[in-house]
Structure 1
Amino acid sequence: MRKKKVTLQDIADKVGISSASVSMILASKSLNRFSDETINAVYTVSREMGYESKHAKRDRKIVVIVCPSVINPYFASIIQGMEQEAKVRGLETVLFTTYWDIDKEKRVCEFAKEPSVGGVIFAMIPQQPELVRELNKTVPVVAVGDKQNDVGLDTVDVNNFNAGTLVANHLLSLGHRKIAYLSTSLNSEHSARVRRFEGLKVAIKQFGPPARLSLYTAEVSSLTELNTLDIEHQTGYALAKRCMKETPDVTAMVAINDMVAYGVIDAIKESGFSIPDDYSVCGFDNIYPSSFAGVGLTTVEHYILQGGKSAVRLLCEKMERQQPRTLEQGAVTRVEYQNRLVVRTSTGIPPVK
């Protein structure tokens, strides 16, 4: 006996929505009208029931994910969100890590022109936006980027400037007036790091004297990042040691991210000081180890898992529209998640120095 063909109405009845809504979700159209739960339910039920649509039969099924590193749980969380969303949509993914190597990014862009590739997602702002915009003429591209950095691509934005101001205002409200910012390479190729610093700097300047911001940076090459497993921890450790020696009146250290902050914490404790009694420490990203009882890091939540999912949804909309072409002025789609300060035990009132 021939098996009954599964219809959109069958899926709609199972999920509890209209067949028109099911059709829109499976076609990745107007997804902002539906909740994550509804979208996931439609894809799960359609897969379980064996439904096949013209959208499921598209030739290009592979999504290329590009990220600088998988060591930092920040990028691991973004990738996990992308993988989760790709799975419910029946998409295969291929992961490339560049370690901030420009030549590697070029090679990835060349690979992305293969006929089997349906789209590309950068888990960071591309280092060569012109090259990626050229790729976007033939292959749909989405990036997870910085709100203040307009690269002419569809992006899921993180407002890094706002994140910096959140941390600065928190420390200032506690009474800190001598604050240090500790970062890996700080240049135009790493706009998120620069924007966080600018957010801190502007907030502290607006507060006025005697508030002061010191800057400590360390240049890290792509080769070093590739060959050194704990490079961010090492960087935070070394910069904190330097900061304590050169600016002993500093009472709070802000690390470029949580991984660097862990190195800062170890350096402070190894030097015989306590947190937050002697020094307050902040990070950015709210990666999962920051909530551990032995860490308790005050940090900024960017909702990176959800951002990874949104990047795949945005890419799918472009793939379904078959719209990789150069976008007209004003036609770039930008999705933003609001930052949230997560206050834990690593920050407190400053000591008298």
Structure 2
Amino acid sequence: MSRKKATSSDVAKRAGVSQATVSMVLNKKYNVSFSREVIRKVEEAAAELGYELPRRKARKEGRKEKLLVVLCPNLTNPYYVMLLQGIESRATEQGYGLFVCNTQRNLELEERYLKMLPSLNPQGVVYTCNPSRCYMPMVEELSRKIPFAVINNQNEKLDVDAVELDNSKLGRIMARHLLDLGHRDVAYIAPPLTVRQKQRSKRVEGFQKEFQEAGLVDHVVIKAANESIDKDIPGIDSEYRIGYDLTRELLSEHEELTAIVGLNDMIAFGILDALHDEKYRVPGDMSVMGCDNTLFAKMKKVSLTTIEHFVIYKGRDACDIIMKKINTHDRKYADMEPVSIYHVEYEPRLVIRGTTSYPPNRRSRKK
């Protein structure tokens, strides 16, 4: 008859201590102070009885946390929050968690996060804007090992999967709406129009081109914020302040204006408040437009005319691209992995609300 295997209870009886003490002593967990005598008794009792600690179940090899990394240029604009909402809703459905990196449009931060990616071991990466040009080689190299999806400006040449946005088309739609209403003298307010932020310039260029084809390009005033703003850490109201401050400047410099456009809704909100403080009626004295159709644009007190380009859907699609890439990688076809590049684009739509109308017949303000 085989000898019964000793238990921790047997060791406890032999050493004259509790079972918990046996467990802590033999597992070397000395978070409770034990005397040398107690430790000696437990170890000797275990040796005499031939007691061995139960082996822990080994963690399954190859098990990975299902993680997606998302790189955002800022989290102060509702546009990026909407993108994150779309990404997270789809990721959650598929059992993935998100690790969000806010680059704050800082090159050093962006590089730091890119270098962290291999150690984070994500199943996929989503860029919610164009990667900085100086890091495109790094992005393309990483994309050979980790599925990438970029929500980008259509005019950029990227060898990675993309949910695309034709910013030039957005600018044209905004301009066409104002031209159809009869506006001739208009202004466009934008954040800094630098080489790094080419998507902004494309939207402005589209707006100008539509007025140029109407023979009115000289009637368009482009007012862009100083480049130094992009070097600062963005505040919660950075884009709103651009709209507000530059509108005040425009009103003192150009009395002939009948419409002011913001590159996005946040800038348009600043424009509206500046006009309110200067006693302009909207749209009676001045029409205002934004872009992105964010939540606040729909509020009845705001009722902002804007452009819908299905931001939440873009976030979901970027996540879907990652999932397709993962599934493709897991399947074998003729002993080789297929290479595919996905491109998705939505047709933008004009959303007419209460901030645009025909230009006033005469330049007058309600004081």
TM superposition score normalised by structure 2: 0.76
Gaps of 5+ in 2: 1-61, 331-336
2:299 aligned partner, one-letter code: F
Match of 2:204 in 1: 197
Deviations 1:284-324 (A, max 9, x none): 1000100101111110001000110000000111122239x
| 1:104 paired residue among 100, 109, 120 | 109
* Residue matched to 2:59: none
- Amino acid corresponding to residue 284 of structure 1 in structure 2: C
Aligned AA (1:68): P
Given that 1:153 and 1:332 are in contact with CA atoms closer than 8 Å, whether structure 2 keeps it comes out as yes
CA contact under 8 A between 1:177 and 1:211: conserved in structure 2?
Answer: no
Structure 1 segments of 4 or more deviating over 6 A?
Answer: none
Equivalent residue for 2:219, pick from 191, 212, 217:
212
Paired residue for 2:276?
A: 269
Residues 182, 172 of structure 1: CA spacing in aligned structure 2 closer, same or farther, 3 A cutoff?
same
> What is residue 39 of structure 2 aligned with on the other side?
none
From 253, 259, 279, the equivalent of 2:260 is 253
Alpha-carbon offset, residue 209 of structure 1: 3.7
2:123 maps to which residue? 118
Preserved CA contact (<8 Å) 1:112 1:119: no
Return the structure number with greater relative CO, CA threshold 8 A, min gap 6: 1
* Map of 1:8 onto structure 2: none
8 Å Cα contact 1:99-1:223 kept in structure 2: no
Q: Deviation of residue 327 (structure 1)?
A: 9.7
Q: Which amino acid aligns with 1:100?
A: R
TM-score by length of 1: 0.79
For the 8 Å contact 2:208–2:217, the answer to whether it is kept is no
> Which amino acid in 2 is paired with 1:224?
D
Equivalent residue for 2:74?
A: 69
SS at match of 2:187: strand
2:99 matched residue in structure 1: 94
Mapped partners of 1:269, 1:115: distance in 2 = 48
Contact 2:328 2:338 in 1 (8 A): no
Partner residue of 1:184 out of 191, 194, 203: 191
State the distance in 1 between where 2:271 and 2:105 align. Answer: 23
Q: SS at the partner of 1:103?
A: helix
Q: Is the 8 A contact 2:83 2:128 kept in 1?
A: yes
Answer yes or no: is the 8 Å Cα contact 2:211–2:217 preserved in 1. no
Partner of 2:154: 147
Letter paired with 1:348: S
User: What are the ranges of 5 or more consecutive residues in structure 1 without an aligned counterpart?
Assistant: 1-56
1:339 maps onto 2:344 in alignment: no
1:223 CA displacement: 5.1
Show the counterpart of 1:41.
Answer: none
Quick one: percent identity of the two aligned structures? 29
Q: Which residue of 2 aligns with 1:313?
A: 320
Query: Helix, strand or coil for the counterpart of 1:114?
Result: helix
Alpha-carbon deviation of 1:160?
1.1
Query: Equivalents in 1 of 2:281, 2:233: separation in Å?
Result: 30
Query: How far, CA to CA, are the matches of 2:249 and 2:152 in structure 1?
Result: 31
Amino acid paired to 2:358 = I
Change (3 A) 1:327 1:249: farther
Q: Give the superposition deviation at 1:131.
A: 2.1
CA–CA distance in 2 between the matches of 1:144 and 1:335? 9
Taking the aligned partners of 2:105 and 2:120, their CA distance within structure 1 comes to 26
Q: Structure 1, residues 52-80: CA drift from partner, whole Å, max 9, x if none?
A: xxxxx973621001101111110000000
Task: Tell me which amino acid in the other structure corresponds to 2:85.
Answer: Q
Measured at CA, do residues 247 and 130 of structure 1 come closer, stay the same or move farther in structure 2, by a change above 3 Å?
A: farther
Q: Residues of 2 paired with 1:282 and 1:333: CA distance?
A: 32
Report if aligned partners of 1:255, 1:284 keep a CA contact under 8 Å in 2: yes
Cα distance, 1:245 vs. partner?
A: 1.1
1:244 counterpart (245, 251, 259): 251
Is the CA contact (8 Å cut-off) linking 2:291 and 2:307 kept in structure 1? yes
Shift of 1:120: 0.6
